[in-house]
Structures are given as structure tokens and as C-alpha cells.
């Protein structure tokens, strides 16, 4: 239990994750530095890294290893060893498997048991856990993972929700537990100073970032480029795709569509960029598209990158999803669209090329929203207050 006296330093805080690298933008670049500034001794423990690492960066200890090449029991043992070395008073977990390791740590250290906070930013299970399974296996796995998550959640002392729809079913099942909603707003200091980009009257640069799977909109993106060229052949089109293909199948589907695009369309594919480099690169494109397919999960997930595009002062065209429609002021810096209607999306892009005043207005309003609302400074105190309450 943390002591509350202002004359006593806060305790040790550990972030524990089994599905994010130690350099997760939410953890390493936002939450962990906030606790470090407040006087906590902070560690980030991750079993989702390509190699083994024990270092200190920016005052934050990183303990990481590749848990994908070992069994679940050994992974739990390694996480326990890391927790023992850090002796945390607070453990902030990103997944139910992390809670499992945290409560095993508490079981072995009953006299100095740490408080467990579950930071919920993803559905569990999600479609990615069930991908490429038969219907029966999907059903069996979904039920197993769902109840595993609820069981482990019962051991959490409090919840941090990344967005409104992620509160279900936790607030219903655990109404007495402390909770707070901390959105995905970025620290604006990580972005280049905002500069105006000339309106795309003769040439347009269109960006796509993130998961390059058909489900997340990579194929829809290519179809829009093709339709845009068809509707406005004199417009020079350049596309920048920054991200990764989750599976070889996703890459093969992408390439099959790509080879049929007109040669006049310039396509630049980049791998995943480091956090700071990624934020700087966002200002290269005129607009960003996110045309993920409309399914139950996507409809209730608020994409983190929408706030990063706003910070860069760039308009966006997003799939008309419930989470985006209800939790952002997207009409002030972009459009919602049917992701399967390539002609409709292309027509919205053409509006920006034909109406430079509209383009500049949306750029300006995107950055203004980031400065007034969509930024880490606005919510960081809520995060710190919540952690301190334990």
C-alpha cells in the first residue's frame, strides 16, 4: 500500500504487458514518464519483444524478452522474476495474462502485495485472437478467452478505460471497483511545430498508417486510389503506407490488388517507424484515410491514430463507425464515409483538391482541436490522481 504523506516518495510502479512492446506509445511515452516525474520508480516489463533487454532509458527501467518462443508457464515464471526484481507497489497490466502473473506475484508476497490496475485499451478476445479458425474453434476459443479475461479482471483493484465502449462489461460486473477513462490523446511535444501544407490542387499525398490488413482497410485504400485516378486523371497521386502486414496472407492480398493499379499512381511502402520518427513523418501527407471494414469490433473501437493526425494538423476520412462518430468532432476536420464505396471516398478527396479553402480550414481545425482537447497534458493529471488513489 502506498503511503500518502507528501514528504515520502511514491513507491515503485511496474507496467506489465504481454502483447505490447516496452516502447508502447501509451505506456513508455505517456504513462510511465508521468509517474517518473511524480517521483515513482518506474519499470516496464514486456514479454512481447524480439530479444532480451534489461536497460534504463529516460529514468525508466525496461525488462523485456520474447515470450512468443516459450510456453505459457515459462512466460509466467519470467514475468514473476521481473516483478520480484522490481518489487512494485502498483502493477499496471495491459492484458489478462499480465494480471495472472501479477496476482501470482501477490500470492507469493502477501505481506507486501501490490495493487493491480487493469488498463483496458483492447477488446479481449478480439478478432485477431480468432483469425483463421473454423467456426467451432472460434466459438470455443472466444468463450474460453472471454471467461479467462473476466476471471482475471476480478483480481484487479481498479480499471483504466481507453475509451467509452471499453467499459463494458467491467463497470456492470465490478461496479464497486475504482475506474477512470484515459483516452489516447498524444503529447504534442512529440510532434513537429505545425506548418501549413499547400492545398492539394495538382498533386495530393494520401497517407495510411497501422495494420495493413484488408480488415483494417488496406485494400479499400487501394481501391480509392484507383477510383480517384479514374475520376480525376490529371491529378498526381502519391500514397504513403506506413505499417506492417500481420500475416503473409495480408501481404499477398495487398500485392494482388496493387499490381492492377495504374502505373501513374506512386505508392511508397514503409515499415513501422519508431515513435518519434513516425510522428514527425505524419506531416508529409495532405490527408489520411482509415477505411477499416464495418464489423461489431471495429464499430466500437476508437482508432488511436485519429488524434495523432489531428496533432499533425491533417484532415481525415474515416469509416463511418459508431465510436468515431460519437467520441470525436470529426466533422470539424474530416469526413465519415462508407469504406466500401471507393467512388464516394474519392469524391470527398476531390472536394479537398477543388476547394483549397476547405482543406486549409480542416487542417487548422484539426490542430486547434489537438491543442484544446486532444492532448496528453489535458488528461495526464487524471491518470496520476487515479494511480495515487491506491
User: Which residues make beta-bridge pairs with 244?
Assistant: 211
Same domain, 340 and 217: yes
Q: Based on the structure, what is the number of domains in the chain?
A: 2
Same domain assignment for residues 357 and 254: yes
**Residue 381 is assigned to a structural domain of this protein:** yes
- Both 153 and 237 in one domain: the answer is no
β pairing state of 48-57 and 203-211: unpaired
174 and 266, same domain (yes or no): no
pLDDT confidence band for 8 (50 / 70 / 90): low
111 & 256 share domain: no
pLDDT (tens digit per residue) in 36-76:
999 999 999 999 998 899 999 999 999 999 999 999 999 99
Q: Quick one: pLDDT band at residue 127, thresholds 50, 70, 90?
A: confident
Classify residue 1: in a domain, yes or no.
no
Mean pLDDT (the chain, rounded) = 93
H/E stretch holding 204 reads: strand 203-211
Contacting residues for 327 by C-beta, under 8 A, at least 6 apart: 163, 164, 302
Interaxial angle between packed helices 96-108 and 135-153, expressed in degrees from 0 to 180 and rounded to the nearest 10: 40
Are the C-beta atoms of 19 and 101 separated by less than 8 Å? no
Catalogue the E-assigned strands of 274-346: 287-290, 316-319, 334-337
What digits encode the pLDDT tens for the residues 73-114?
999 999 999 999 999 999 999 999 999 999 999 999 888 899
Which residues partner with 180 through β-bridges?
A: 160
Assess contact for 30 and 382: CB atoms under 8 A. no
**189 is written with which cell numbers?**
511535444
Among all chains, which residue has been given the C-alpha cell 505459457?
A: 72
Quick check: is 347 in a domain?
yes
- State mean pLDDT over 235-261: 94
E strand map for 132-202: 158-161, 178-181
CB 43 within 8 A of CB 72: no
Give the mean pLDDT of 231-242: 96
**Is the same domain home to 325 and 226?**
yes
Helix (H, G, I), strand (E, B) or coil at 48: strand
Identify the residue whose cell numbers are 481501391. 223
Q: Please name which of 131, 80, 71 lies closest in space to residue 63, comparing C-alpha atoms.
A: 80
Domain assignment present for 5: no
CB 9 within 8 A of CB 259: no
pLDDT of 29: 97
145 and 203 fall within a common domain: no
| 209 bridge partner residues | 242
211 and 156 in a common domain? no
Residues 355 and 383 in one domain: no
Region 159-164: mean pLDDT is 95
Q: Is the pLDDT of residue 361 over 70?
A: yes
In a domain, 6, yes or no: no
Helix, strand or coil for residue 316? strand
Phi, psi (rounded to 5 degrees) for 307: -80, -25
Quickly list DSSP for 73-114: HHHHHHHHHHHHHH--SEEEESSHHHHHHHHHHHHH-GGGPP
CA angle 30, 146, 20 (to 5 degrees): 25
Domain of 90, in residue numbers: 12-185+377-388
111 part of a folded domain: yes
Q: Give the percent of the chain with pLDDT over 70.
A: 98
Q: Among 99-103, 132-136, 266-270, which stretch is predicted with the lowest mean pLDDT?
A: 132-136
Determine the average pLDDT of the residues in 162-174. 94
* CATH (domain of 25): 3.40.50.2000
Residue 3 has pLDDT above 50, yes or no: no
pLDDT range class, residue 136, cuts 50, 70, 90: confident
9 band by pLDDT with thresholds 50, 70 and 90: low
Tell me how far CA of residue 134 lies from CA of 123, 204, 275, 282, 295, in angstroms: 20, 42, 36, 39, 18
CB half-sphere exposure, 390, CA atoms < 13 A: 27
Residue pair 56/85 in contact (Cβ under 8 Å)? The answer is no
Instruction: Give 303-318 pLDDT, tens digit per residue.
Output: 999 999 999 999 999 9
Domain-located, residue 7: no
Does 84 share its domain with 112?
Answer: yes
Task: Please tell me whether the peptide bond between 124 and the residue prior to it is cis, using omega within 30 degrees of 0.
Answer: no
Residues 317, 250 share a domain: yes
Q: Do 111 and 223 reside in the same domain of the chain?
A: no
- Cα(221)–Cα(243) distance, rounded to whole angstroms? 13
Q: Which of 272-310 are b and which e, b meaning 16 or more Cβ less than 10 Å from the residue's Cβ?
A: eeeeeebbebbbebbbbbbbbbeeeebbbbbbbbbbbbb
Asked whether the whole model's pTM tops 0.85, one would answer yes
C-alpha span between 303 and 184 (Å, rounded): 9
Amino acid at each position: 500500500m502506498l503511503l500518502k504523506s507528501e514528504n515520502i516518495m511514491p513507491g515503485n510502479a511496474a507496467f506489465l504487458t504481454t502483447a505490447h512492446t516496452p516502447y508502447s506509445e501509451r505506456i513508455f511515452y505517456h504513462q510511465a514518464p508521468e509517474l517518473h516525474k511524480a517521483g515513482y520508480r518506474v519499470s516496464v516489463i514486456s514479454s512481447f519483444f524480439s530479444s532480451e533487454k534489461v536497460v534504463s532509458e529516460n529514468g525508466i527501467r525496461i525488462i523485456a524478452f520474447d515470450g512468443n518462443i516459450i510456453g505459457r508457464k515459462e512466460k509466467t515464471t519470467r514475468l514473476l522474476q521481473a516483478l520480484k526484481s522490481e518489487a512494485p507497489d502498483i502493477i499496471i497490466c495491459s492484458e489478462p495474462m499480465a494480471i495472472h502473473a501479477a496476482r501470482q506475484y501477490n500470492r507469493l508476497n502477501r505481506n507486501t502485495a501490490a495493487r493491480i490496475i487493469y488498463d483496458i485499451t483492447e477488446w479481449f478476445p478480439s478478432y485477431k485472437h480468432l483469425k483463421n479458425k473454423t467456426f467451432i474453434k472460434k466459438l470455443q476459443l472466444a468463450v474460453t478467452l472471454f471467461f479467462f479475461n473476466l476471471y482475471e479482471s476480478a483480481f484487479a483493484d481498479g480499471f483504466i478505460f481507453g475509451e467509452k465502449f471499453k467499459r463494458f462489461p467491467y463497470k456492470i460486473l465490478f461496479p464497486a471497483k475504482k475506474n477512470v477513462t484515459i483516452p489516447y490523446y498524444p503529447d504534442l511535444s512529440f510532434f513537429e511545430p505545425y506548418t501549413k501544407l499547400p492545398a492539394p490542387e495538382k498533386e495530393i499525398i494520401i497517407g495510411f498508417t497501422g495494420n495493413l490488413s484488408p480488415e483494417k482497410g488496406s485494400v479499400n485504400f487501394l481501391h480509392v486510389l484507383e477510383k480517384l485516378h479514374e475520376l480525376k486523371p490529371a491529378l498526381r497521386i502519391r500514397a504513403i503506407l506506413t505499417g506492417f502486414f500481420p500475416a503473409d496472407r495480408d501481404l499477398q492480398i495487398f500485392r494482388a490488388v496493387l499490381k492492377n493499379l495504374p502505373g501513374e499512381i506512386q505508392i511508397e511502402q514503409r515499415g513501422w517507424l519508431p515513435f518519434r520518427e513516425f510522428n514527425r513523418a505524419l506531416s508529409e501527407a495532405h490527408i489520411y484515410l482509415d477505411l477499416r471494414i464495418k464489423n461489431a469490433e471495429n464499430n466500437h473501437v476508437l482508432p488511436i491514430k485519429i488524434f495523432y493526425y489531428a496533432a499533425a494538423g491533417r484532415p481525415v476520412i474515416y469509416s463511418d463507425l459508431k465510436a468515431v462518430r460519437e467520441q470525436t468532432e470529426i466533422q470539424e476536420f474530416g469526413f465519415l464515409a462508407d469504406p466500401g464505396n471507393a467512388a464516394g471516398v474519392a469524391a470527398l478527396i476531390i472536394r479537398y483538391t477543388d476547394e483549397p479553402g476547405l482543406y486549409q480550414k480542416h487542417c487548422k481545425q484539426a490542430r486547434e482541436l489537438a491543442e484544446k482537447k486532444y492532448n496528453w497534458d489535458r488528461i495526464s493529471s487524471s491518470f496520476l490522481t487515479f494511480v495515487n488513489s491506491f
